[in-house]
Amino acid sequence: MGRLFGTDGVRGVANDELTPKLAMELGQAGAYVLTKENAHKPTIIVGCDTRISGGMLANALMAGICSVGANAVYVGVVPTPAVAYLTRAYGVDAGVVISASHNPVEFNGIKFFNSEGYKLSDELEDEIEALIHNGMEGVTFPTGKDVGKVKYRMDASEDYITFARNSVNVDLTGMRMVVDCAEGASYYTAIETLRELGADVVPIHANPDGTNINDKCGSTHMEELMRRVVEEKAVVGLAFDGDADRLLAVDEQGNMVDGDQLMAICGNYMKSQGKLKKDTIVATVMSNLGFFLMGEEKGITIEKTKVGDRYVLEHMKEIGANIGGEQSGHIIFLDENTTGDGLLSALHLLEVMVKTKKPLSELAKVMEVLPQALINAKVPNDKKESYMEYPEIAKAIEELERKFAGKGRVLIRPSGTEPLVRVMIEGKDQKVIEEEAKKLADLIMKTIA
């Protein structure tokens, strides 16, 4: 059996790979591992995104939590970063989010936070996984008054809104913006926060029905938002993903502004205010080459990690940085929250726009985005890590690296959450890099059948 935990919790098709039985076992093992040092009766917060399978999995998970003697607090539909914040704010022992982030509706996932609101280390995940594989050996299941109970708390969204509003000092009065909530967890919290700060908000995809999450909308499908910003004569467009831990933006001319550009804009502003710790931003190997060149030009150190916001966060903590993230829009502002937070990212971006009085199109020029082609090769999940073991693939990659050496770069990596190998090439000529990326992705799919 492969490892249950990927780069972002346990993911799979709900009721197929991620069954209620597995959710219950994760509740049992997670509650046991995360609270076994506690002398008191532990409490774990549980929240979910808008997927139809969320209630099914949340109830199974909470049954597991209660069956080992811990209490569960269900906070309903809230963004992933809200659970990270509320875990700390409510002083509980752990938090769990039921979400598959930007993935389609049939997927779901289970992600744990420790008592400080941080994602779990590989070691803790391995411990949880080992317990499940060993049939909960050594875990006691209490009876009678020692069984855990479920409490329902419906004020959590308001507490998160208050936190977000107080985190960034910005007045948005008169700013017209189009906000795409991806039919996901930000449909209430983001719109309400921005309106309370004075913004003139045009919401789109903010009517979740359980089945439409991420469906041709949100940060993975920006076309409609780009069009609407221009039509509405808005100064900015904001796009969240299903669980609202990501943000991408659109400038007033309808151009997309990605996570690298957002970090460059916010990082440079923080530096000008003396608030960029160590004059450093932490990014991943997938960040655009133009982002690293911007760092050299502006006197900002860009530290690189492997892909996954958890690795960005680990490195930020290690070196004492306070901003880091990914091109995809996961941006961590560590002074305020312990995970990627789309709403906080939006507020920081809007703060720069308000304080500098510059349009987003001008702010985005802080870095030149070099052409990039990213093609996904769909492969069996159990073979995605071993792509270099196929001689024809290894040879093709080596030839590509030789071809682009000094004029760009080639990056091939398995996805942490999906059955994919991602092929990314950067260079000067968009047409050439797209052709080469597609050719390699086709070879990988054909070879790893």
- Residue 424 forms beta bridges with which residues? 374, 411
- Under 8 Å CB-to-CB from 362, ≥6 apart: which residues? none
216: left (phi over 0), alpha (psi -120 to 50) or beta: left
The radius of gyration of the chain's CA atoms, rounded to the nearest angstrom, is 22
Measure the CA–CA gap between 433 and 426, rounded to whole angstroms.
7
- Taking residue 394's Cβ as centre, other Cβ atoms within 10 Å add up to 12
Measure the CA–CA gap between 430 and 188, rounded to whole angstroms.
39
**How far lies 388's CA from each of 83, 223, 249, 284, in Å?**
38, 35, 36, 21
Measure the CA–CA gap between 312 and 240, rounded to whole angstroms.
20
Catalytic residue among 99, 101, 219, 415: 101
Contact assessment for residue 232 and residue 176, using Cβ atoms and an 8 Å cutoff: yes
Give the three-class secondary structure for 384.
helix
Q: Is there a catalytic annotation at residue 101? A: yes
Contact assessment for residue 260 and residue 367, using Cβ atoms and an 8 Å cutoff: yes
Point out the residues that are catalytic. Answer: 101
